[in-house]
Amino acid sequence: MSLQALKNINRTTPTDAEQPKGFPAMLEQFKGEIARALPKHINPDRMARIALTAFRMTPKLGECDPRSVFAAVIQSSQMGLEVGLMGEAHLVPFGNQCQLIPGYTGLMKLARQSGLVQDIYAHEVRVNDVFTLKLGMERSLDHEPLTTLGGFPAADDERGEVAGFYSVAVFKDGSRTFVAMGRKEVEKIRDNSRGYQSAKRYKKLDAVGHDPSVAALSSRFGMEEAEIGIVCWGSTSGPVEEAVEQALARGIPVKAIVPKLLNPLVHSELKPFLRSAKKLLVPEMNFTGQLASLLRSAYRVPVVQLNKVKGVPFRAKEILDQIEQVAETLGHKESQDQRMLESVGSERAE
């Protein structure tokens, strides 16, 4: 489907009987149009699931014209960017209209897909780092972060406040280019942007992610020091809690946490939870495993994914079966069987 056809859908004004009731209904009604709009390598059903997840995570989008949300999703898909947790693109409400805003990871992806760029990356520079920038006939940029024992980068508080940023692109022929900006220049661009109010909101949210006072944002159940951990969110928490209770009754040590905030992640809650977990199980009602990918990226932890995409909610038994498989890999199955034998022996003795 061409961009003109996309505009036609956005401008359509059907009768009340034909009018889709909100974005989810529009997504279902125009599924055929979506399939024709997408590049061949993108599955329309998968795109629809990702779009619905992103839509439901931002309640303000429900106040937008559903046609503008639909148009933003199509534009994202045509560029090959996924909206949602991975940050490639975002559905951002401005009044009653939704706008697609590519994230920095999405822009980097587009640069790599152009065929011209081999690598692209960016870093912040802090006041205690060594940073040298030269312009003119021979441009150069050198950055040495403050280091600690063993030559590893020092913690951010040791390196000091952020002084500026730079990005580097490496082209296929081996040549390089870079851009460097001081903090004030970056903030000036931010202040003049249309989305600055949203930016301030997300800056506050990022601080929330590191604040111990938000402990009540997550709920936990199970054994606190268990080596098997489960992270879930939304409607999956019900069958997970039931499965944890059944696993504990069978002698399998397991714990679970249900974050109420995913963007940003609540580090003060998740880091202590993950510390004792040798295996992390993440059940999700989607195909891509967005939460699992987010946890891998943020905490570098091994994750066992349990994905379900048929539209039917998880049953506790499905999660319990997976818990038992994970327990067996950690050696808990043997101790569980031993406890059962001891229990049978005591009953016979009585």
- The pLDDT > 70 percentage for the chain reads 78
- Section 1-18 average pLDDT: 48
Residue with the bigger pLDDT between 181 and 57: it is 181
Most confident of 49-58, 67-76, 92-101, 314-323: 314-323
pLDDT above 50 for 148: yes
Supply the pLDDT for residue 340: 43
DSSP string, 99-160: EEEE-HHHHHHHHHHTSSEEEEEEEEEETTSEEEEE-SSS-EEEEE--B-GGGPBPPHHHH-
The reply to whether the predicted model has a pTM over 0.85 is no
| CB-CB neighbours of 125 under 10 Å | 23
Q: What are the distances in angstroms from CA 85 to CA 3, 56, 195, 287, 337? A: 26, 12, 19, 13, 40
Please give the order of strands across the beta sheet that includes 218-222. Answer: 218-222, 254-259, 228-231, 279-284, 303-307
- The pLDDT > 90 percentage for the chain reads 20
pLDDT above 70 for 333: no
Instruction: Tell me the pairing of strands 279-284 and 228-231.
Output: parallel
The pLDDT tens digits for 275-297 are 888 899 999 987 778 888 888 88
pLDDT-based confidence at residue 7 (cuts at 50, 70, 90): low
- Among residues 269, 247, 272, the alpha carbon closest in space to that of 260 is found at 269
Q: What are the distances in angstroms from CA 177 to CA 119, 130, 194, 233? A: 11, 20, 28, 42
User: φ, ψ for residue 329 (rounded to 5)?
Assistant: -70, -25
**Paired tokens of 22:** 């909100």
Q: Is 173 exposed, middle or buried (0-12, 13-18, 19+ CB in 10 A)?
A: exposed
The pLDDT tens digits for 303-321 are 999 988 776 788 999 999 9
pLDDT above 90 for 145: yes
Supply the pLDDT for residue 306: 93
Supply the pLDDT for residue 311: 67
- End-to-end, the C-alpha distance of the chain in Å comes to 76
**Paired tokens of 302:** 């091994």
Supply the pLDDT for residue 237: 84
Query: Number of helices (H) and strands (E), helices first, in the chain?
Result: 14, 12
In this structure, which amino acid lies at residue 43?
N
Chain-wide mean pLDDT for the chain? 78
pLDDT-based confidence at residue 154 (cuts at 50, 70, 90): very high
Of 40-44, 73-77, 95-99, 117-121, minimum mean pLDDT range:
40-44
- Section 20-27 average pLDDT: 75
Q: Which CATH number fits domain 213-341: 3.40.50.920, 3.90.850.10, 2.10.70.10, 3.30.360.10?
A: 3.40.50.920
Q: What are the distances in angstroms from CA 344 to CA 104, 334, 348, 349? A: 60, 16, 6, 9
The pLDDT tens digits for 216-238 are 456 788 888 899 999 998 778 88
Q: Where are the domains of the chain?
A: 3-107, 115-187, 213-341
- Quote the radius of gyration of the chain (alpha carbons, Å): 25
The pLDDT tens digits for 240-255 are 989 999 999 888 999 9
- Section 45-61 average pLDDT: 81
pLDDT above 80 for 136: yes
Q: Distance between CA atoms of 57 and 294, rounded to whole angstroms?
A: 15
H or E element at residue 75: helix 66-78
User: φ, ψ for residue 218 (rounded to 5)?
Assistant: -120, 150
DSSP string, 205-256: HHHHTT-GGGGGGEEEEE-TT-SEEEE--GGGHHHHHHHHHHHHHTT--EEE
pLDDT above 60 for 264: yes
Of 37-46, 60-69, 196-205, 281-290, minimum mean pLDDT range:
196-205
The pLDDT tens digits for 169-212 are 888 888 888 999 999 888 887 777 665 555 455 444 444 444 44
- Among residues 133, 118, 145, the alpha carbon closest in space to that of 179 is found at 133
pLDDT above 50 for 57: yes
